[in-house]
Amino acid sequence: MTDKKSRIQALISAIISYLQAHRAASPGVGMTLDKLEAMRLSEQALIDAPPQRSRHDTVLNTAIDAIRTPQLQEIAHCLKVAKDDLVWREDNAQFYPSGADLGQGYKNRNLHTMLIGPDACGYDHPDFNLGIFMLGPRTLYRDHNHDAPELYLNLSERSGWRFGTPDWQDYPAGSLIWNKSRAPHATLVYDQPFISVFVWLENVNSPCDIIQCDDWAEVEQNLANQSS
Ligand SMILES: [Fe+2]
């Protein structure tokens, strides 16, 4: 096995180890692990995709360096080591119905790598996604939902979330967010970048739908004011 493949495999193993240690934290963790355990994540099955950096590489480095929680250090180390082996992409229109109002903040500051899934740089799977997702500082990821049940493992120290309500709640590093199919959710990124593991358990080709909310302009203006 090449060093590159071993680095990608180590990152996936570190994520699985964390989830195994937190199986009881959320029903979505067990469902995710059940799916992962049914997969053949062998050395031979690893894809050898040409790495791809992004325009957000500096922000990504900042996000990874800021992972401080002791229980996340294995993931942080493996991510740091494998980062330049991975294919980093920005969300594009394929995930959203045409004309979806994501906002310029999100469009300008989102990044992900797909470790398992269709077109992944680790393991190919037709209907499952596991990857790393990043948002730049002071970004609103507007309220949305999708058919895919979704699990987030937050790696960054603090992020705001809401689930169909006007109010936000902060979640710490190591927290797990479980969004059942079609459950609304939104993410608020403060003055440090947001980084997480994300999983879509099924229906990965169904697009996201944006859920219009009256306060987006106000929230985004507040974020912009904090940076000036
Ligand atoms: Fe989502």
Q: Classify residue 115: in a domain, yes or no.
A: yes
Separation of CA 52 and ligand 1 centre (Å): 24
Q: How many CB atoms lie within 10 A of CB 69?
A: 16
Say which DSSP state 49 is in: P
Residue 173: which CATH number? 2.60.120.10
Q: For residue 43, what pLDDT band results from cuts at 50, 70 and 90?
A: confident
Separation of CA 43 and ligand 1 centre (Å): 30
Separation of CA 163 and ligand 1 centre (Å): 11
| Alpha-carbon span 43 to 72, nearest angstrom | 24
- Spell out which residues have Cβ within 5 A of ligand 1, the ion: 150
Separation of CA 41 and ligand 1 centre (Å): 25
Checking if the pLDDT of 1 tops 70, the result is no
Checking if the pLDDT of 116 tops 90, the result is yes
| Alpha-carbon span 128 to 179, nearest angstrom | 15
| Alpha-carbon span 86 to 78, nearest angstrom | 12
Q: How many domains does the chain have?
A: 1
Q: Classify residue 73: in a domain, yes or no.
A: yes
Separation of CA 4 and ligand 1 centre (Å): 29
Q: What pTM, to 2 d.p., does this model score? A: 0.96
Query: Under DSSP, is residue 15 helix (H, G, I), strand (E, B) or coil?
Result: helix
Q: Classify residue 163: in a domain, yes or no.
A: yes
List the domain range (segments joined by +) for residue 127.
3-91+103-227
Per-residue burial over 79-117, b if 16 or more Cβ lie within 10 Å, else e, is beebbebbbbbebeeeebeeeeebbebbeebbbbbbbbb
pLDDT digits (tens, 9 = 90+) for 56-108: 999 999 999 999 999 999 999 999 999 999 999 998 766 676 667 888 899 99
Q: Classify residue 98: in a domain, yes or no.
A: no
Average pLDDT of the chain, as a whole number: 94
pLDDT digits (tens, 9 = 90+) for 189-227: 999 999 999 999 999 999 889 999 999 999 999 998 986
Residue 217: closest CA among 142, 137, 134, 163: 142
Q: Classify residue 186: in a domain, yes or no.
A: yes
Query: Under DSSP, is residue 67 helix (H, G, I), strand (E, B) or coil?
Result: coil
Q: Classify residue 160: in a domain, yes or no.
A: yes
Q: Classify residue 141: in a domain, yes or no.
A: yes
Q: Classify residue 97: in a domain, yes or no.
A: no
